[in-house]
Amino acid sequence: MAREAYHFPLNTSGALKAMTIKVGDRLPDATFMTPTEDGPAPKTTADVFAGKRVALLALPGAFTPTCSAKHLPGFKTHAAELRAKGVDLIVCVSVNDVFVMKAWGKDQGITDEVMMLADGNGEFTKAIGLDFDGSKFGMGRRSQRYSLVAKDGVVEQLNVEQAGEFKVSSADYLLEHL
């Protein structure tokens, strides 16, 4: 049975939303939750990005079709190549709770290749201007699909998808532009 394609508009009108974050900007202070063997643990922006070159992939939701079939698996597959090009850490951010992120990471076979970060209330996503209203799909506020590279918390590369597309946020595209 073929899976139906789901396309999440960037806002309720379907038009692109003005972005807040851009190359050269410092990522805002935020606190994520990450699953650990000891249970959920907070991770601040400083914990994740300070002193490191980080590749971040963000997506509308765990267990959604494109996110599960292409986006996260691509970063898992290319983790060694990203590290060979100077990436110290790969993180996946989604506006989901930490328990969903843990279950999705397990479902995707993620071990230490990618750090799963829950932006449960969407505070980081909203602060960088890359949220959208998915209420008409029953999803509430969500993250647009994008990837970025930040060095010591400063954005070096930012790749934001157009609604319904999966091209510039992929691990392949990020690798080509490192």
CATH number where 85 lies: 3.40.30.10
pLDDT at site 135: 74
Task: Decide if pLDDT at 40 tops 60.
Answer: yes
- Asked, for residue 92, whether it belongs to a domain, the answer is yes
- Asked, for residue 103, whether it belongs to a domain, the answer is yes
- Asked, for residue 152, whether it belongs to a domain, the answer is yes
Residues 6+ apart with CB under 8 A from 37: none
Residues 6+ apart with CB under 8 A from 116: 34, 35, 91, 92, 101, 102, 104, 105, 110
Domain range enclosing 166 = 31-176
**What's the pLDDT band for 70 if we cut at 50, 70, 90?**
confident
- Asked, for residue 26, whether it belongs to a domain, the answer is no
- Asked, for residue 2, whether it belongs to a domain, the answer is no
pLDDT tens across 23-32, in order? 999 999 999 9
- Asked, for residue 135, whether it belongs to a domain, the answer is yes
pLDDT at site 10: 41
- Asked, for residue 114, whether it belongs to a domain, the answer is yes
Integer CA distances (angstroms), 85 to 23, 40, 131, 163, in order: 19, 30, 29, 29
pLDDT tens across 155-171, in order? 999 999 888 888 888 89
Task: Decide if pLDDT at 6 tops 80.
Answer: no
| Number of structural domains found in the chain | 1
> To which H or E segment does residue 176 belong?
helix 171-176
Token pair for residue 157?
Answer: 């590369």
Give me the active site residues, please: 67
- Asked, for residue 82, whether it belongs to a domain, the answer is yes
